Structures are given as structure tokens and as C-alpha cells.
């Protein structure tokens, strides 16, 4: 055996010589790419002996091919001749590790299977919902415990997360809300000017921003920013067994990891909502001034005079609930991360999608509720 | 048979910032041998391995594997060269989103153009060769024990029948029986596949059981290289401590001390 070139371009030749199947050349995994197995198997059927004296390299793949061809030979077992001691050792090793005959064929598809999968998914979804609610209960109970024993609160951690989810989000929330105000004023003006009712653009902006858009869009941004960060942070801790380590040290991960995050969100989301409201109104006022000639003073007068304070109240009432949804879902999905990196990625995206979805569902429910109570 | 070393390292210098890991390190690995690389924590065993396989660019020095330089090789030649070695990382480093069999198929899928059933069969053979049970093939790495993950990592390292296998602490964290079985596996596959093995280890039993030669890394270079018997005569505090300590005695490297 000389130095074997890394990639062989020489195919393996198969010659049937009486009842002797002669193989020559490279019998390696590279040669197997171009090897015509069907033709070789056809020839092997008539062979009693497989002669590999002329081969100059045999690797595991080649040995597998030899064993497979030998199995095709006359009497179901042709002899392999001409192997060096090294090669015959390899062939023996491969023969001992051949796949068991009748490797179970997997049956997939079919109506029953699909139904079963659907049922499994529904069952899984319902189970996850129950788990999520029980996680919520656990967090609420822990917060209750902290209210009774305030010393258990990790204040530093809460403040840290307040900065992360609140303060650091101020620029993006402000900018986004300002732009929404601008867009609303611009679109509203285009429509309202058709009736000469430009001045109602103030009401349009005030009601839509204060009541719905300010807080809803803030919640969506925070879900994308902080909900995903919660899942990723807690999930990677779970992956590296840090959560288990906490438990063995008698530290409660819910108290240490989840409660500060959820509390920080509950405190900061209304604050961010307030900032978004102000920025949105400002954007609307600027646009109303530039585009419609409604002066800031007129805007302010109409805003103060014509807008019920409850519009603002409705928006603010929703904020802590949205915060709770984002925080709970973000942390819960993080806790669900298993041993592999893929589940971390999957659950992070689940966390964002689910929390945005739940925020919108919650918003719709609030709309119905406020319509019923008449605010 | 040519006696040119399959791995030839000359004057290797690696540093991280100001911290010098290797300073003028020389090493030869001969064809077909199992070379054990030992050294205290932080002496740069894994760094050496990474430098040889090209994962880490050394500051200075030459590294030749199978007669070709690892550092200054065109990408295409490096690709071909890389196919001729396999690396097993400490915890297997299996792709966690793939099953064991898909992990072993992965190099074949990337490098070759084989029909799926052949890949499947070959991967199956490799998985069985490293002694994993049949049902492990369809499992994900997170469902395997540490020892099984290491075996699966080994199976992936030998998927393309490399000439050299780099093993980074294959027996660390295994129970003694599992470690002994892994040692046997290394020897067995070395004999069957004609491998050259570059083995980074802390495990004295392992050294004793599988290594033909031992290289000791200390003081930023290869302090000594030779058989385990040679190591007993090396006059260096760390080497003496290592090969004459109580654990070495337990591993029967040293004759027991007379009572």
C-alpha cells in the first residue's frame, strides 16, 4: 500500500473472468460515487470468488461494497480472495457491522397518521396552555409571597431589567410612535379634508394613539425586543444547567429570574406607553401644523377640550396586562428550552409570535369589555 | 514504508494577546501510531490540536500534515487535505438538530455525491463500528449519554475513512468501564482502519492502554516524547509528578513501591 491520493479519479474496474469477479483500482468511498452497483451486482451473481488482488486501496465503503457483492454471489456467499491482512481485517470488521437484514421500513403518510398527528398537536397545544396558566399561577403566587416578605425581592435585578426593557427601549419606542402620529395625521388629513373637516384630525390622532396604537405598538416592540431576550437568556441558562444548579442550591429560579423580569415589565411598559402617547401626539401635531396649518396652540386647545381623559385611561389600564403576557410567555418559553441549540432558536421565535398574538387577543377582549362598560 | 512523519510541526508559536501558549514547539507524529498528548491544564494541548487542523492561526511556525502545509495552502487543497483527517471534539460536538445517523452522514453529504441508501448504510456501519446500539441511530444528541455522544462524535470523525484522527479527551467524563471500552475501541479501529491517532488526554489509564508514544507539553513546548517507559526517566518536576504520582501507580505505569 503506497501513499493513496486523497481523491481518486480512477474508477474501480469490475471484470468477470469465468466464475471469478476481478476488481481493480480504487475501492474507496470516492470511487463509489461513480460506481455502477447494479451492473456489478449482476456480474457478482455468477461469481464464486471475488478477487481483489489488483485493488490498491480499500476503505470502509469499499469493504462494504465487497461484502455486499459477496452476498450476491453464487450460493449467497462468494469468497473474497487476495486481500492483504490489513484489508481482510477491515472486511471482517465491516462484515460484523453490516446492517441487520430487513431494516425496518418506516411507514409514514396515510389518513390515520395525519389524523393522529393533528390530534397529537391539539393535545400538545392544550397541554401547553394548561402549563402556561400554571406557570402564571406560580409567578403570581411568588409575587404574592414577595409582597408578604419584601426582603425576598431582588431589587438590583429588578432595576437592572427596568433599564434593559424600559430605559433602553425609549429611543425606538419614541421614534416609532412619533412616526405613527405623523402617518395618522397625514392619512387622516387627506381623507378629512374632502369634507372640510380637517380639524377633526386632532380627535382622530388623540383617540387612536391614546386608546389603541400607542400602547399596542409599544407592547409589540417590547415583545420583540425583551420577550425574545428573556427566552434566549433563560433558555441558554437552562441549556447549561444553570437553572438546575440554582435549584440544588435552594434558589428558586422563579424568584430570581422570572419575577424581576415580569415586575420590570409591569413597571416599565406603562411608562413606555406614556412616552409613546406623548411622542405620537407630538408627531401628529407637527404633521397637522405642517400639512393642515393647525397651529400647535389650536391643536392643544382641541386636544384638551375635546378628548375625554378616559381614552388615555383605557390605554394605560391595558399596559400592565400586556406586560404580564409578554413577561410570562417570554420566561415560560425560556424554561421549556431543552438540551439542544435548535430548541432555543425555535422557542425564542415561538415566544415572540405567541406573545404578540396574545397581546392582540387581549387588546380585542379589552375593546369588547370597554364597549360593554361604555367608556 | 516511508518514515516521513504524517504530522510535522516546527517552531510553532501561538499566543492569545500577550499570553504565549506555545513558543517554538516541535512535534512529529508517525504514520499508524497512537500519540498521546498530555500536559497540565492550560499548557495548550487543545490549542495545538486546533492549530494543526487549521481552526486556529498560529503566530509563527510550520505545520505540515501528510506533507502539505496547513497554513499556506490554497483553499482547494486545504479542502482535500481536510478530508484526510477527522476530528472528535471534547463533548462530541454533534449537530444538535440532526440525529446520530444524520450527523455521521453529514460529511458524506457535504463532500461526496452518493446515493442516499448508500450513505445510510455506510453511516449505519460506522455507528455500529463505534459500538452504539441500533436504536441510537435515530436519536438526537440531547437524548444520548455523554459516553454515547463521544462515540457518535468518533463515528462522525471516521465517516470518510480519514488517515488521521484527532481525539480531544475522548475518555474525560466517562466511567472507568466506559473509558476502558473507548480505549479498546480506539485500538480496534486504529488496527482495522489503519488510522494515525492524535490523542489529547489526561487519562493515565488511557495512555497506558492505547498510546504507542507520549508527548508531554510543558513550558510552552514539547518537553519530552517517547514511550511511557521513557517518560519515567525524564527529569522534570511536572513529568515526574505526573508519571510517578499515586494515580500513575494505580494505572500500573510504575511498579508499585516496595512496602
- Closest alpha carbon within chain A to B188: A93
Does residue A318 carry a pLDDT above 80? yes
Q: Are residues A157 and A287 in the same domain?
A: yes
Does residue A3 carry a pLDDT above 50? no
Among the listed ranges A107-116, A240-249, A294-303, B25-34, which one has the minimum average pLDDT value?
A107-116
pLDDT of residue A317: 94
pLDDT of residue A285: 92
B228, part of any domain? no
pLDDT-derived band of residue A330, with 50, 70 and 90 as boundaries? Answer: very high
- Residue that terminates a domain, selected from A72, A96, A120: A96
Does residue A217 carry a pLDDT above 90? yes
B239, part of any domain? no
In a 10 Å sphere around its CB, with 0-12 CB exposed, 13-18 middle and 19+ buried, how is residue A124 labelled?
exposed
Backbone angles phi, psi at A295, to 5 degrees: -70, 155
pLDDT-derived band of residue A181, with 50, 70 and 90 as boundaries? Answer: very high
B4 vs A164: which has the higher pLDDT: A164
Average pLDDT of the segment spanning A4-9: 43
A129 vs A1: which has the higher pLDDT: A129
Q: Are residues A343 and A207 in the same domain?
A: yes
pLDDT of residue B184: 84
pLDDT of residue A101: 67
Average pLDDT of the segment spanning A30-45: 79
Q: Are residues A85 and A154 in the same domain?
A: no
Q: How far is A105 from chain B (nearest CA, A)?
A: 12
Are A209 and A188 in contact by the 8 Å Cβ rule? The answer is no
> Which residues of A fall below an 8 Å CB-CB distance to B?
3, 6-7, 28-30, 32-33, 37, 59-61, 64, 86, 89-90, 93-94, 97-100, 103, 338-342
pLDDT of residue B93: 84
Residue where the block lists cell 447494479? A38
pLDDT of residue A11: 64
Residue where the block lists cell 510543558? B218
Listed ranges A222-231, A236-245, B157-166, B200-209; the one with the highest mean pLDDT: A222-231
Domain that holds residue A58: 13-96
pLDDT-derived band of residue A106, with 50, 70 and 90 as boundaries? Answer: low
Rounded Cα gap, residues A175 and A280, in angstroms: 9
In a 10 Å sphere around its CB, with 0-12 CB exposed, 13-18 middle and 19+ buried, how is residue A250 labelled?
exposed
Q: How distant, in Å, are the alpha carbons of A40, A56, A75, A98, A172 from that of A51?
A: 13, 12, 17, 21, 74
Which chain B residues are within 8 Å of A94, Cβ to Cβ?
A: 125, 129
B25, part of any domain? yes
pLDDT of residue A223: 94
Q: Which of B32, B78, B113, B122 to mutate to test the interface with A (most CBs of A within 10 A)?
A: B122
Among the listed ranges A68-82, A257-271, B74-88, B139-153, which one has the minimum average pLDDT value?
A68-82
SS3 A33: helix
Q: Which of B112, B192, B194 sits opposite A30 (nearest CB)?
A: B112
A357, part of any domain? yes
- Residue that terminates a domain, selected from A96, A116, A137: A96
Q: Are residues A176 and A302 in the same domain?
A: yes
B68, part of any domain? yes
Q: Which of A4, A6, A108 to mutate to test the interface with B (most CBs of B within 10 A)?
A: A6
pLDDT-derived band of residue A366, with 50, 70 and 90 as boundaries? Answer: very high
Does residue A1 carry a pLDDT above 50? no
Q: In sequence order, which residues have a C-beta less than 8 Å from that of residue B9 and are 6 or more positions away?
A: B25, B26, B27, B28, B48, B51, B52, B61, B62, B63, B64
B80/A89 touch (CB, cutoff 8 Å), yes or no: no
A141, part of any domain? yes
What is the phi-psi region of residue B224: left when phi exceeds 0, alpha when psi lies from -120 to 50, beta otherwise?
A: beta
Give bridge partners of residue A81 from the DSSP assignment: A51
- Closest alpha carbon within chain B to A91: B192
- Closest alpha carbon within chain A to B96: A340
Does residue A94 carry a pLDDT above 50? yes
Range list of H helices, chain A: 37-44, 60-72, 85-96, 111-148, 155-165, 170-192, 201-207, 214-222, 228-239, 242-248, 253, 259-287, 296-306, 309-335, 341-373
pLDDT of residue A102: 56
> Does the interface predicted TM-score (ipTM) exceed 0.90?
no
A359, part of any domain? yes
pLDDT-derived band of residue A5, with 50, 70 and 90 as boundaries? Answer: very low
Are A213 and A309 in contact by the 8 Å Cβ rule? The answer is no
CATH number of the domain that residue B180 is part of: 3.40.50.300
Q: How far is A365 from chain B (nearest CA, A)?
A: 39
B141/A98 touch (CB, cutoff 8 Å), yes or no: no
- The alpha carbon dihedral of B234, B235, B237, B240 has a sign of positive
Assigned C-alpha cell, A297: 396652540
- Residue that terminates a domain, selected from A79, A96, A113: A96
Give bridge partners of residue B39 from the DSSP assignment: B217
B160/A7 touch (CB, cutoff 8 Å), yes or no: no
Which chain A residues are within 8 Å of B80, Cβ to Cβ?
A: 6-7
pLDDT of residue A314: 92
Q: Are residues A151 and A199 in the same domain?
A: yes
B121/A338 touch (CB, cutoff 8 Å), yes or no: no
Size of interface A-B (CB pairs under 8 A): 70
Number of domains in chain A: 2
Domain that holds residue B113: 7-222
Q: Are residues A351 and A204 in the same domain?
A: yes
Does residue A261 carry a pLDDT above 90? yes
pLDDT of residue B122: 87
Q: Which of A6, A103, A342 sits opposite B96 (nearest CB)?
A: A342
Average pLDDT of the segment spanning A82-107: 74
B114, part of any domain? yes
Which chain A residues are within 8 Å of B4, Cβ to Cβ?
A: none
B170, part of any domain? yes
Long-range contacts at A243-246 (CB < 8 A, ≥ 24 apart): A243/A335
pLDDT-derived band of residue A4, with 50, 70 and 90 as boundaries? Answer: very low
pLDDT of residue A328: 95
Q: Are residues A25 and A149 in the same domain?
A: no
Listed ranges A14-23, A224-233, B72-81; the one with the highest mean pLDDT: A224-233
Q: What is the pLDDT along chain B (259 residues), one digit of tens a residue?
A: 456 788 888 888 888 888 888 888 888 888 888 899 988 887 888 888 888 888 888 888 888 888 888 877 788 888 888 888 888 888 778 888 888 989 998 888 888 888 888 888 888 888 888 888 888 888 888 888 888 888 899 889 888 888 889 998 888 878 888 888 888 888 888 887 888 999 998 888 888 888 889 888 888 888 888 888 888 888 888 888 888 887 777 776 666 555 4
A112, part of any domain? no
Number of domains in chain B: 1
Q: How far is B257 from chain A (nearest CA, A)?
A: 41
Q: Are residues A162 and A268 in the same domain?
A: yes
Amino acid at each position: 500500500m503506497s501513499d493513496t491520493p486523497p481523491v481518486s479519479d480512477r474508477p474501480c474496474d469490475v471484470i468477470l473472468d469465468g466464475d471469478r469477479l476481478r476488481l481493480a483500482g480504487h475501492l474507496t468511498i470516492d470511487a463509489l460515487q461513480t460506481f455502477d452497483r447494479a451492473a456489478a451486482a449482476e456480474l457478482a451473481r455468477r461469481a464464486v470468488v471475488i478477487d481483489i488482488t489488483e485493488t490498491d486501496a480499500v476503505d470502509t465503503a469499499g469493504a462494504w461494497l465487497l461484502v455486499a457483492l459477496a452476498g450476491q454471489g453464487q450460493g449467497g456467499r462468494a469468497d473474497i480472495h487476495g486481500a492483504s491482512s490489513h484489508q481482510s481485517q477491515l472486511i471482517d470488521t465491516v462484515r460484523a457491522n453490516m446492517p441487520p437484514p430487513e431494516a425496518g421500513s418506516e411507514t409514514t403518510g396515510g389518513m390515520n397518521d395525519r389524523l393522529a398527528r393533528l390530534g397529537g398537536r391539539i393535545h400538545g397545544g392544550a397541554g401547553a396552555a394548561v402549563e402556561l396558566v400554571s406557570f402564571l399561577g406560580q409567578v403570581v403566587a411568588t409575587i404574592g409571597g414577595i409582597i408578604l416578605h419584601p426582603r425576598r425581592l431582588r431589587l438590583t435585578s429588578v432595576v437592572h431589567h427596568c433599564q434593559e426593557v424600559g430605559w433602553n427601549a425609549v429611543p425606538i419606542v419614541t421614534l416609532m410612535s412619533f412616526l405613527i402620529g405623523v402617518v395618522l395625521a397625514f392619512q387622516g388629513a387627506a381623507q378629512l379634508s374632502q369634507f372640510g373637516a380637517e380639524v377633526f384630525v386632532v380627535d382622530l390622532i388623540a383617540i387612536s394613539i391614546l386608546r389603541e396604537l400607542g400602547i399596542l405598538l409599544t407592547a409589540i416592540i417590547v415583545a420583540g425586543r425583551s420577550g425574545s431576550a428573556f427566552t434566549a437568556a433563560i433558555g441558554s441558562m437552562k441549556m447549561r444547567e444553570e437553572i438546575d444548579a440554582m435549584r440544588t442550591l435552594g434558589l428558586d429560579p422563579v424568584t430570581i429570574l422570572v419575577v424581576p423580569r415580569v415586575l420590570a415589565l409591569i413597571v416599565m411598559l406603562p411608562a413606555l406607553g406614556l412616552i409613546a402617547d406623548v411622542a405620537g401626539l407630538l408627531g401628529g401635531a407637527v404633521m397637522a401644523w405642517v400639512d393642515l396649518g393647525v397651529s400647535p396652540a389650536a391643536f392643544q386647545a382641541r386636544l384638551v377640550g375635546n378628548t375625554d381623559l378616559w381614552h388615555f385611561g383605557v390605554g394605560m389600564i391595558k399596559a400592565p396586562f400586556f406586560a404580564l403576557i409578554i413577561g410570562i410567555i417570554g420566561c415560560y418559553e425560556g424554561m421549556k428550552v431543552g438540551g439542544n441549540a435548535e430548541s432555543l432558536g425555535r422557542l425564542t421565535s415561538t415566544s415572540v409570535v405567541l406573545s404578540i398574538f396574545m397581546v392582540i387577543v387581549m387588546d380585542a377582549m379589552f375593546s369588547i369589555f370597554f364597549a360593554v362598560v361604555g367608556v | 514504508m516511508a518514515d516521513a512523519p504524517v504530522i510535522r510541526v516546527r517552531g510553532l508559536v501561538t499566543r492569545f494577546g500577550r499570553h504565549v501558549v506555545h513558543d517554538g514547539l516541535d512535534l512529529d507524529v508517525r504514520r499508524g501510531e497512537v500519540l498521546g498528548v498530555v500536559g497540565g491544564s492550560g499548557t495548550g494541548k487543545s490549542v495545538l490540536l486546533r492549530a494543526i487542523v487549521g481552526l486556529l492561526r498560529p503566530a509563527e511556525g510550520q505545520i505540515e500534515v501528510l506533507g502539505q502545509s496547513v497554513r499556506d495552502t490554497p483553499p482547494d487543497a486545504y479542502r482535500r487535505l481536510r478530508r484526510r483527517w477527522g476530528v472528535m471534539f471534547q463533548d462530541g460536538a454533534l449537530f444538535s438538530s440532526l440525529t446520530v445517523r444524520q450527523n455521521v452522514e453529514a460529511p458524506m453529504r457535504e463532500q461526496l455525491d452518493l446515493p442516499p441508501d448508500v450513505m445510510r448504510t455506510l453511516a449505519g456501519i460506522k455507528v455500529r463500528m463505534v459500538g452504539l446500539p441500533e436504536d441510537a441511530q435515530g436519536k438526537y444528541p440531547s437524548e444520548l449519554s455523554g459516553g454515547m455522544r463521544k462515540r457518535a462524535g468518533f463515528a462522525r470523525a471516521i465517516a470518510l475513512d480519514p488517515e488521521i484522527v484527532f481525539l480531544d479527551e475522548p475518555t474525560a467524563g466517562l466511567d472507568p468501564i466506559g473509558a476502558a471500552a473507548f480505549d479498546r475501541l480506539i485500538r480496534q479501529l486504529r488496527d482495522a482502519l489503519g488510522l494515525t491517532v492524535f490523542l489529547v488526554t489526561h487519562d493515565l489509564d488511557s495512555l497506558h492502554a492505547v498510546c504507542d508514544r507520549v508527548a508531554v507539553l510543558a513550558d510552552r513546548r514539547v518537553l519530552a516524547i517517547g514511550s511511557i517507559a521513557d517518560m519515567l526517566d525524564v527529569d522534570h518536576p511536572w513529568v515526574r509528578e505526573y508519571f510517578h504520582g499515586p494515580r500513575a501507580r494505580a494505572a500500573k505505569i510504575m511498579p508499585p513501591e516496595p512496602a
